[in-house]
Every structure is written in structure tokens, then in C-alpha cells.
Structure 1
Amino acid sequence: MGGGPEYPQRGEHERELLLCVLPWPEKASEKVIGEIRDEFPNLEMHYIAQTYEDLKTGKTEVPEDLCKRASYLATLSWLPLHVSSVPNVKFIQFYSAGTNHVAKHPIYTDSKIPLCSASGVHGPQIAEWVIMMDLVHSHKYTILYDAQKRKEWKQKVGMEGVSDNVGKRVGVLGYGSIGRQVARVAKAMGMDVIAYTASPRPTPESRRDGGFIVPGTGDPEGEYPSAWFSGLNKDSLHEFLKQKIDLLVLSVPLTKETTHFLSTEEFALLNEVNPAGTYIANISRGQVIDQPTLVKALERKQIRGAALDVTDPEPLPADDPLWTAPNCLITPHVSGSTTVYAERAFQVLRENLRRERDGKHLVNEVDRDRGY
């Protein structure tokens, strides 16, 4: 381990405390937790498993003395009410892709405690969701499945207008860990990939992925896109949308700049440059799309369809017109789910424990000014 000490210590016999407040049973990640305990024998771990009701109400009982002693906090959403409650915390490891859900909390706004996301653990399963939804639509599967339930053999329905993805273009709006894995799968299917980022990526070094990467996934070197675009203003976005995109994947963090990033003007532009229709997959946050204008775009056939794992608001009210919009597939914010989610998130935590020990920069540390 680089010849460093086993673990940073406060005293010869005093162990540092890792406090985990998470909505999974400890057993779900026992393998990687055991590896962390073996690697850091001077680290004490206390695990509090939250219930669904805890998450729903936001009320989780965590003893005050544990908060006071904690050197590291691992959490999905729970935080103590006050910064003073965690005087010894060196960093907080969130098990979520972003931290916008705590952006108004005093620990976010009034402290300098490093906050780290679990960005990177969602890439494989969400990329599969994106490609699955695109294929379900392009191969008319929902229509065929409805026919199956009616016990009807409708071969013609499954043959008309079906197209494969070879030679089509996927535009990834937000080329982070999820977008990079979408690109990897899309390239394997013979698609062209173009990328959009907030800041310019003109050099090979700037295009590398500096975050956590699930081994064997993603685009670590930024090699897949045939073209890169960037910016946080509408003119830059429009230049990207003019590239005749067949599948547009929204994977940007929710910030002031990205709120309603796609609205009336953008849907009209997509239709103008690609009359055959762009298919939109949103796995970021519902507010990135101006939802009423999306419904109109679907009704007017300005876009080919939409697959949404996020909506505005959530849960989506039963009377919202989005439910019945044509060519729209909706799932209840589940694309990031996988049986190994918690295990992967603990791998991010382990990496940050190593980096903190070795005096290196933390992985996935949130830039509070940028919001991600």
C-alpha cells in the first residue's frame, strides 16, 4: 500500500470510527466490508441500517456520541442536523450519484467537509436501461407484447418501421460515468457517439475519466466520441443538437444552468435537423426537461419518443398528461438499481479511505460551486 502507515491514527490505541447510515442490510455488502476491515485494522465500523420508513420520513435515530466520534460518514441521504454534530469527520461519502438532495443542508452550505458522490457505480445498469428502452421502442416491442397478452399473432406489426442502430448517432449530453458506458455499448452496436460536457475537453488528458470506474466499463480515456461539444448556454447546446442525433441521452447533473435545458426551442431544433425523429432518454433529473413542452413535442411528433426514468415531480401524479403522451415510456426512478449497488458504493468508499490515508485527492469530491 505504498509503504504508508496502516491507517491515520489519533493516538496509539484509539481507533477511528467509520459511521455507516444506509438503507441496505450490512449483509448485502459483507464481502467488501470485510475487505475494508482487513485492509484498515485500526478502523472501527458502526453500521446503522435504515428502514424504508426512515427514508420516507427523513428521521433516523443515530446516537449523538457516534456522530461526535465519527471520522468518516457513509450515507445515502441522512445527515445530522448541525455541522457541530460531526466535529471530527474528515469526509462524507454519499452513496448517491449526486448531492443535489442535500444542497441546502448546513453541512453543504456552511462547512468545508469534503463531500464525495458515488458517481461511477451507476454506469453499467443505467446504460443497459437506456439501450433497452431505445430497442424496445425501435423494435416495436410494447406493441408486440400487448398483442401477446391478447394472444394475437401480428407479424406485420413487428416488421413495419423497425430499424437497427448501425450507423445511427447517439448524443450524450453529460459525458460522465453513465454517458461513457452508454458510449461503450453504443459503439459495440455500430453507432457513432458525440459528447457534450460543461467545460471544453480539447486534449487527451482533459478527456480522461478521473472518477470511480467499475472495472471493464466506461470510456476511461475518452476515446469513443467522434466529436466533443461543451458549454452551459443555449447557443452551445444548440450547436450540439444540430448534429442530427438519433438517440439523445440526458445524463447531466441538475444545476441552475441545466434546469429546463430542453424546452420548446430545443424540441423544434431537433425536429428541424432530424425529421425522422430523435429518441430522448432521460436518466438525470426530471427538471432538466421542461415537462409540459415535452408532452407537446410528443403530441406534435417533433421527436420520435421518450424514455423517462425521472419526472417532475416525483412521484408523477396520476392525472399528469405525461402518462398518456404518445410514444413515452416511464419507469419510477429505478434505472440505477442493481443487486450489487451497495457493494460498488463501498468500493468507492474504500478507494477514498486509501486516498485519505495516502494524502491524495479524493475521488468524486463534489465542487460546491459547480453543484457536482
Structure 2
Amino acid sequence: MVAMGGGLDLPSREAENGKELVVCALPWPEEKVESGIKALKEAFRDVEVKYFHTKFANGKVEPVDVSDDILQRTAYLATLFWLPPSVSSIPSTKLIQFFSAGTNHIAQHPIYTDSKIPLCSANGIHGPQIAEWVIMMDLVHSHGYTKLYDAQKRKEWDQKMGMTVSDRVGKRVGILGYGSIGRQVAHVAKAMGMDVIAYTASPRKTAESKHDNGYIVPGTGDPEGTIPSTWYSGTTKEDVHNFLEQEIDLLVVAVPLTKTTTHLLSTPEFELLHKSNPRGTYITNIARGQIIDQKALITALEKGHISGAALDVTDPEPLPKDDPLWDAPNVLITPHVSGSTDVYADRAFQVLIENMKKEKSGGKLINEIDRERGY
């Protein structure tokens, strides 16, 4: 928790009615998040909420008009991608709660680089829907569904197309980045009879270190960290390669984007996957496009070094129409939507509420960003 200080020359963090000001700059019309705002007001009788609908489409953010007076009085800021222009514009802010899983998109902003305002992510709210996307894509691939759907559109009945199914029992899923999303993938995969192995940067050798201490959607994930049959860790190429050579059938890319993880998967890694599992590893990326060397991925797909790829993120975004990735064999691409769900905002508001409680009580914040590590 960071004490912001005070003095007669600083604006009051309280509104004229004596309530602390919570500014929400979010990409939904206000009526779509009424339940979240209601929950916030019920949790804190001493807050005032001002809502600003931020427009965002295909990677572009429209300007948001928030007056200087409001910014000066903002005690808590809830946002997805918008930030005020400078640190000095929000002198009373105690906490910024992002409604996104990562904050790499604002890592060069002065509020990130030059302030000590606690920044928290909404890590944990994406597990259910993204895990469903991962498993859906894996099943679409393993059941050859795209060919069957194409046959349906041609009004063609051909049973031979449906005879090359590979069910998931006994197959191995390797989760590169065992956070909240990876844990829910593990939860579902285990229920399907798959073996799960996990990879994290930091060693998790004790039972306590394997716990998930972030936000958890009730009934989901792997809170105690007991699902993986084996846990791998490290930050060197050798460590990563040790994990990748474990005959992985489904590789789930779920690490944050940092300098270390940029192009973490390239030609040597795809060749290693092929050598370890000649049946073919299927890769799903729900993290960030830059984690995979996209040119090397296309080559690996063309050479059959991996069996296919499902990508909800690309490099760049939006993916240009003339990019060769569109036409690569055995690839499925969605426009960064795997995290979408009709309860997204409600879950994110719950994280905001919990963090405001912890900030007020001096407790440890949920999902606080380590600026040096980048996540």
C-alpha cells in the first residue's frame, strides 16, 4: 500500500458530499454494468461513482473527456486501457484497477514508469471462458470438425471425414504459464482424462508455493496447485526446452509478455516439439502474439513440425489481410475475443471491490503488478 501524502496545497480526495470518488473508464455502456456499479455502492457507502464509456475497436482507443476537477479528486480508478495523461493529473489516486489480465499495453505510460500508485490486474476473471476456448479449439482440431462443417455447407454426407478422431484421454497438455487461466484449463483437461504438466518461471517446490493467491472464480481452477503431475520451472532456454520435450499433445501458451518471453517459441522450440512428439503438438496461444515468432510458426505449420495452432492473439493486431498467417495450414484464428463473456464486467468489479477493501484495511492487494517483472 502506498501512502499518497497530503497537505493544505493538495486537493481533497473526497467529493463535496464527503464521499471518495471512484472513476470508471470502461468499454461498456453504463447500463451494461449496472449490477457491478450497484455492488460497488453496496460494498462502500462512502463512495461516489462517475462512469465514462471509453470507445475501443480493433486496437484503437478514442479520447476520453474527463475534467481536471474529477481527475484531481479521483481516489480509485477502474479502467481497461485508458489512463490520465500524467501522474500529476491524479494526485489523490490510491489504486488503479485494470479490468484486463495484463498491463503490457500501458507499460510505457508515465503512470506506470514514474509513479508508485499500486496497479492491479483483473487476473483470475478470464479462466472459465478462456479455458473453454482452449478446449473447444483442441476438440475442433482433434475431431476434424472444420472439414465436417465445410462438408455440411456443401450439403455433402461423407462419413470418412469423421473417422480420424483422436480423443483426449491419456493425452498430455503442457501449460506454459500456470496462472489462473492455465489452472482452469488444467481443471477441465483433468476432467477429460488428460495428463497435465505445468511450467512457471519461479520454482514451486513446496505445497504453499503452488497455491493460487489471486482472484479465483468460485468452483474453478486449481487453488491448491495439485493437478499437474509434474511441475517445471526456470527462465533459461534450457529450462523451457526441458519442459517442451515432454511429448506434449496440447501446448497452452499463457505466459505474460515481457522482454524474456518475446519470441519464446521459435524454430528451435518447434523442432524440439516435433522431435519429442512425432504425432504433432497442437498449440493454442491466448496470451500475446509476440510470444510466438510468427514467421517461424508459419514455417513449422507448413513443414508439419506441429499439428496445428489456434491463435486468439497475433503479431500485429489486427492481423493485416495480406499476412501469410491467414493461409497457413491447420491454423484457426480469432480476433482476441477468448476472454469475452457476459459476466466479464461483474467479475472485474468484484476484484475492484476486494482490492478497495484491502487498500482501506491495509491488506495485501490482489493481483498487484510488479513493475520490474512486468506482471
Using structure 2 for the length normalisation, give the TM-score: 0.94
Secondary structure at 1:131's aligned position in 2? helix
Q: Find out whether 1:86 has 2:90 as its counterpart.
A: yes
Q: Distance in 1 between matches of 2:210 and 2:260?
A: 22
Secondary structure at 2:166's aligned position in 1? coil
Residue 123 of structure 1 is matched in structure 2 by 127
Secondary structure at 1:74's aligned position in 2? strand
Question: CA 1:53/1:317 → structure 2, altered by over 3 Å: closer, same or farther?
Answer: closer
Please list every run of 5 or more consecutive structure 1 residues that lacks an aligned counterpart in the other structure.
1-8
Residue 33 of structure 2 is matched in structure 1 by 29
State the identity as a percent.
67
Residue 260 of structure 1 is matched in structure 2 by 263
Quote how far apart the aligned CAs of 1:189 are.
Answer: 0.1
The one-character-per-residue Cα deviations of 1:19-64 (angstroms, maximum 9, x if unpaired) are 1111112222222321221221111111111234797244111111
- From 219, 224, 227, the counterpart of 1:221: 224
Using structure 1 for the length normalisation, give the TM-score: 0.95
Secondary structure at 1:206's aligned position in 2? helix
- Look up the equivalent residue of 2:229 and give its one-letter code: S
Q: Distance in 1 between matches of 2:289 and 2:77?
A: 28
Question: CA 1:54/1:329 → structure 2, altered by over 3 Å: closer, same or farther?
Answer: closer
Question: CA 1:54/1:85 → structure 2, altered by over 3 Å: closer, same or farther?
Answer: farther
Q: Distance in 1 between matches of 2:257 and 2:53?
A: 28
- Verify the 8 A CA contact 2:187 2:222 in the aligned structure 1: yes
Q: How many residues align?
A: 363
Secondary structure at 1:367's aligned position in 2? coil
Residue 212 of structure 1 is matched in structure 2 by 215
The one-character-per-residue Cα deviations of 1:42-95 (angstroms, maximum 9, x if unpaired) are 111111112347972441111111100000000011111110000000010001
Please list every run of 5 or more consecutive structure 2 residues that lacks an aligned counterpart in the other structure.
1-12
| 4+ long deviations beyond 3 Å | 9-13, 52-55
**1:100-249 residue pairs with structure 2 within 5 A?**
100-159=104-163, 161-249=164-252
Q: Distance in 2 between matches of 1:302 and 1:244?
A: 13
Q: Distance in 1 between matches of 2:196 and 2:82?
A: 38
- Verify the 8 A CA contact 1:233 1:257 in the aligned structure 2: no
Residue 42 of structure 1 is matched in structure 2 by 46
Compute the RMSD of aligned alpha carbons: 1.5
Secondary structure at 1:215's aligned position in 2? coil
Q: Distance in 2 between matches of 1:353 and 1:308?
A: 35
Quote how far apart the aligned CAs of 1:10 are.
Answer: 6.2
Q: Distance in 1 between matches of 2:328 and 2:16?
A: 64
- Verify the 8 A CA contact 1:232 1:258 in the aligned structure 2: no
Question: CA 1:83/1:54 → structure 2, altered by over 3 Å: closer, same or farther?
Answer: farther
- Verify the 8 A CA contact 1:173 1:250 in the aligned structure 2: yes
- Look up the equivalent residue of 2:97 and give its one-letter code: Q
Question: CA 1:55/1:234 → structure 2, altered by over 3 Å: closer, same or farther?
Answer: closer
